[in-house]
Amino acid sequence: MINITDVSRHQGDIVWEALTSFFNAVWIRAGMSWGYEDPRFDLNWSKSRGKLPRGSYHVFFPLQDPKRQADKWLEILDGDYGELGLAADVELHHDANPLVFERNLRSYLIYLEDRTGIRPVIYSRASFFNAYITGSGRYNNPPKWYQDYDWWLAQYLRNPDLRHPGPVTLPIGVPRERVLIHQDSGSGVPIGVESRELDYNHWEHTARCTLQEFIHEVSGTPEPTPEEPEPVPNQVDWTNIDAKYSELGNAIEEQK
């Protein structure tokens, strides 16, 4: 299993060497809306560099100016989008009308991609997206653009000591292969952090790509192709030898 975590100021001091002993990648909170930067983002971002693939997430406010929120996020990143790129955290509704919520979120995502060349991953959960963005009146006809994005979905078990085994429930209109990450626990063992709990996620085996393929997509470089193995010197070609012995056997039989 490819394990992934996400951290913010709530995790306190992080011993990255301990974190990397179990996790294969990390998402780090940059901020919220247009006026808040996570006070530990710069430290977490710099300390994690080179230790494991990292991306940033930013909490979206549905009734605030989408462009202003995106600009704040990009200002925090200062051109360094990490190896995983961007994840739009969509889990606050603020009583927004679903059509307004969808319009502002869509504007936010498009603007971020235009500015960075990276299509953001959407973090949420099926029940939230169905209720507050799709809306009950559109269950039979959800927006088509959902299919164009990769998703990071949360779903836990009632028992906080266990990780949800999956499959994660999908928002209406989202194909299974577009779900890259399942956040399967919000109360995992706090490896390498000060907090008493830690979010646990894993890369979905049904995802449209592997973690490494996704990293290459974000960086804009193709996945390296494996090199052909070097021929072993003096390697015996048993195929040719078998053929020669077969020909010799036939010749002997003809002489009898």
Residues of the chain with pLDDT under 50: 236-239, 241-245, 248-256
Which pLDDT value is given to residue 132?
96
The 10s digit of each residue's pLDDT in 73-98 is 999 999 999 999 999 999 999 999 99
Q: What is the pLDDT of residue 248?
A: 42
Q: What confidence score (pLDDT) does residue 252 get?
A: 39
- Which residue in 101, 167, 172, 166 sits closest to 130, CA to CA? 172
Other Cβ atoms closer than 10 A to 106: 14
Q: Which domains are seen in the chain, by residue range? A: 3-219 (3.20.20.80)
pTM for this entry: 0.86
Nearest to 195 by CA among 7, 5, 12, 8: 12
Q: What is the pLDDT of residue 178?
A: 98
Confidence (pLDDT) at 223:
56
Cα-trace Rg, the chain? 25
Asked if 82 contacts 115 with a C-beta cutoff of 8 angstroms, the reply is no
CA distance 212 to 132: 33
244: burial class by Cβ within 10 Å (0-12, 13-18, 19+)?
exposed
What sign does the CA torsion over 154, 159, 161, 162 have?
negative
